[in-house]
Chains A and B, each alone.
Chain A
Amino acid sequence: MEEKKITVRKQKIKKDYTKIKLAVYGALTLLLILVAVFAPYITPYDPYEQDLGNALLAPCREYLLGTDRYGRDMLSRVIMGARSSISSAVLLVVIITVAGSIVGILCGYCQGKLDSFLMRLSDIFLAFPGMVFAIAAASVMSGGIMNAVAALAFISWPKYARIARSQVLTIKNAPYISAARLAGSGTGKIILKHIVPNIAGPVIVTAVLDIGTMMMEIAGLSFLGLGATPPTAEWGSMMSNGRSMLQTSPWVILAPGCAIFLTVMVFNLLGDTVRDILDPRQSRRNRS
């Protein structure tokens, strides 16, 4: 048979941008956090100083985002708002992550009566539509951004308990843990050295993805008057106070609104990227 020419084909190979993404979104997140931390030093004006002569000015060179009805600089207030919004959302996520994980690890590790009691309890919490419960809880605790955080924390921890528990159950009987136990490691040591690092992945992914959601929920409670109270510069309450001026001075709404939107977006982008890296099941699906 005669020799045929061998065809050569090029294969398109998708580049993996995950690391670049992580760097970019990580940097953006860091920038937001820096803004929040140094807010008092970078605001062009005092966010609380009223100047009724300059009330409701449209964005201009002096007031880049305009002024609100008390003549306060919107840009300064939005920057200050980053502080309360980001810190409260991060605080909330840290609380529920730690509390939920502790409960989950306890349940998974000890099992028995404590486990079934705590899991039934978390069933009850999971039975509430989150925001409905938070609205009621925050209203009983009568306002304040910390109370809003507490209300949301109260209803949101079970998710983390569930995740941590199921992770513990899957690795609890792994040979290396039995080996550590036989080698004389105490329960505390096993939990800290072997279990915590192993459940960290899924818990962190959920936590980072939750920051944006929680920020929106806190802002929502503030919007309803159940979170930050005036004159505190907080995005949700700023928007709530500006509602009546929507027609005449839309910047009063748009400035804090866009601030929430962009911040939540950055955290969500970071969360998605972290998930791609830490959750192999998900990322395999995305890449193949």
Chain B
Amino acid sequence: MKKYAIRRFIQLIPILLGITLLSFILTNIGTTDVIDTMESNQGVVMSEEEKDQLRQEIGLDKPLAQQYVIWLGNVLRGDMGESFVSGKDVFDTFISKLPATIYLTVTSIFLTVLISIPLGILSAVKQNKFLDYLIRFLSFIGNSLPNFFVSLLLIYFFSLKLKLLPVMGNNSGWKSIILPTLTLAIAMSSKYTRQVRATVLEELNKDYVQGARARGIRENKILTFSVLKASMLTIVTLLALSIGSLLGGTAIVESIFMWDGVGKMAVDAITMRDYPIIQAYVIWMAVIYVVVNLITDLIYHYLDPRIRLGQEEA
């Protein structure tokens, strides 16, 4: 187990390097000159000499590889430059917006788990019965709805028609998180319910279920103590994997609901061509995603006795 964890950490290094390199290249192939953008965004008029001097200052005259190394060093020290727009430190800005996104992510995951796990299990147990068809139908609908459409529909019904919930912002108390959470949870649970169902069905078709039946064990007990226990490992892993789509989804949802998190920050930055902010967003979201996946993987390995006891080479 320890060995495995260490190996996984080592494998993480090239991936993290790759993430940073890709993000670096991405924001550097932007056709527009960084300094020009900065000039037009901050509304300061600069002469060409001044611009060149600035370019030298941030090292833009150096070859790309060298720029990357310098930049990476800065990133590791938490220095990701300053926003072209506000002039504030990018990393600080990111960190200040992160809690709002985490808050939203956590409530969405919580709601998703609350919806999907029971429904997925129910759907599997009642396979090809009415309830199964109903659940599958609903999750099918949810899967075909883009989350920006869901957001707008929810706003339309709950805020504009029924006037029950605020349209936007995180300054109107706990009520303001309901709609964004609901939006994200609808999309995520539709996908996840299907995965839970498939996982449970796969377990239900395994020989040990028949074995337990042959020993006269009640279906409920087989389900709770064996099938669900065995499925949970996969279910948790799948949940962690779907966090990736959640992280991407928050950008649109945050900007629709004016939720002041990193997603809205990124969307705002796009309109202003505020590359350092976009860069920080991409890198840190990817890092968060990778770390979440790593943690899940380690938990999985810890929980599964087959792997923990070193029987299966992972």
Q: Does a CB–CB distance below 8 Å link A and B in the complex?
A: yes
Which positions in A face B, CB cutoff 8 Å?
14, 120-121, 123-125, 127-137, 139-140, 142, 212, 216, 219-220, 223-226, 236, 239-240, 243, 246-247, 250, 253, 257, 260-262, 264-265, 268-269, 285, 288
Q: How far is the CB of B124 from chain A (nearest CB, A)?
A: 10
Which of chain B's residues 132-184 have a Cβ closer than 8 Å to chain A? 140-141, 143-149, 152-153, 155-156, 160
In the complex, the chain A residue whose C-beta lies closest to that of B11 is A123
B19's contact among A127, A130, A264, by CB below 8 Å, is which? A127
Q: Count of A-B contacts with CB under 8 A?
A: 146
Asked whether A129 lies within 8 Å of B266 as measured between CB atoms, the reply is no
Size class of the B contact interface (CB-based, 8 Å): 35 or more
Q: How far is the CB of B117 from chain A (nearest CB, A)?
A: 19
B residues less than 8 Å from A125 (CB atoms): 22
What is the CA–CA distance of A139 and B275 in the complex, to the nearest angstrom?
Answer: 9
Asked whether A243 lies within 8 Å of B152 as measured between CB atoms, the reply is yes
B residues less than 8 Å from A127 (CB atoms): 15, 18-19, 286, 289-290
A residues less than 8 Å from B252 (CB atoms): 220, 223-224
B29 interface hit (Cβ, 8 Å): yes
B95 interface hit (Cβ, 8 Å): no
Which positions in B face A, CB cutoff 8 Å?
14-15, 18-19, 22-23, 26-27, 29-32, 128, 140-141, 143-149, 152-153, 155-156, 160, 198, 201-202, 205, 243-249, 251-252, 255-256, 266-267, 269-271, 273, 275, 278-279, 281-282, 285-286, 289-290
In the complex, the chain B residue whose C-beta lies closest to that of A257 is B149
Q: How far is the CB of A206 from chain B (nearest CB, A)?
A: 15
Instruction: For the A-B complex with A129-B286, A139-B278, A288-B205 known, give 11 more contacts whose Cβ atoms are closer than 8 Å.
Output: A121-B18, A123-B15, A130-B245, A135-B266, A136-B23, A142-B32, A212-B144, A240-B148, A250-B156, A262-B144, A264-B146
In the complex, the chain A residue whose C-beta lies closest to that of B198 is A285
Asked whether B160 lies within 8 Å of A128 as measured between CB atoms, the reply is no
Q: How far is the CB of A254 from chain B (nearest CB, A)?
A: 8
8 tightest A-B contacts by CB?
A131-B248, A124-B18, A265-B144, A129-B244, A139-B270, A257-B149, A264-B144, A216-B146
Q: How far is the CB of A134 from chain B (nearest CB, A)?
A: 8
Q: How far is the CB of B39 from chain A (nearest CB, A)?
A: 17
What is the CA–CA distance of A261 and B146 in the complex, to the nearest angstrom?
Answer: 7
What is the CA–CA distance of A28 and B147 in the complex, to the nearest angstrom?
Answer: 24
A residues less than 8 Å from B29 (CB atoms): 140
Asked whether B286 lies within 8 Å of A132 as measured between CB atoms, the reply is yes
The A contact surface, by secondary structure, is: helix
A residues less than 8 Å from B202 (CB atoms): 285
Asked whether A124 lies within 8 Å of B128 as measured between CB atoms, the reply is no
10 A-B pairs (CB sep. < 8 Å): A124-B14, A135-B248, A219-B146, A236-B148, A257-B146, A257-B149, A260-B149, A262-B144, A268-B143, A268-B144
B26's contact among A120, A140, A220, by CB below 8 Å, is which? A140
Asked whether B160 lies within 8 Å of A246 as measured between CB atoms, the reply is yes
Asked whether A285 lies within 8 Å of B201 as measured between CB atoms, the reply is yes
Asked whether A124 lies within 8 Å of B245 as measured between CB atoms, the reply is no
A residues less than 8 Å from B23 (CB atoms): 136
* Contact A239 B148, CB 8 Å, known A124-B18, A132-B248: yes
Asked whether B22 lies within 8 Å of A124 as measured between CB atoms, the reply is yes
Asked whether A136 lies within 8 Å of B281 as measured between CB atoms, the reply is yes
What is the CA–CA distance of A131 and B158 in the complex, to the nearest angstrom?
Answer: 27
What is the CA–CA distance of A264 and B150 in the complex, to the nearest angstrom?
Answer: 14
B residues less than 8 Å from A140 (CB atoms): 26-27, 29-30, 275, 278
A residues less than 8 Å from B244 (CB atoms): 129-130
Asked whether B149 lies within 8 Å of A124 as measured between CB atoms, the reply is no
Q: How far is the CB of A19 from chain B (nearest CB, A)?
A: 18
Q: How far is the CB of B227 from chain A (nearest CB, A)?
A: 14
Asked whether B248 lies within 8 Å of A130 as measured between CB atoms, the reply is yes
Asked whether A14 lies within 8 Å of B128 as measured between CB atoms, the reply is yes
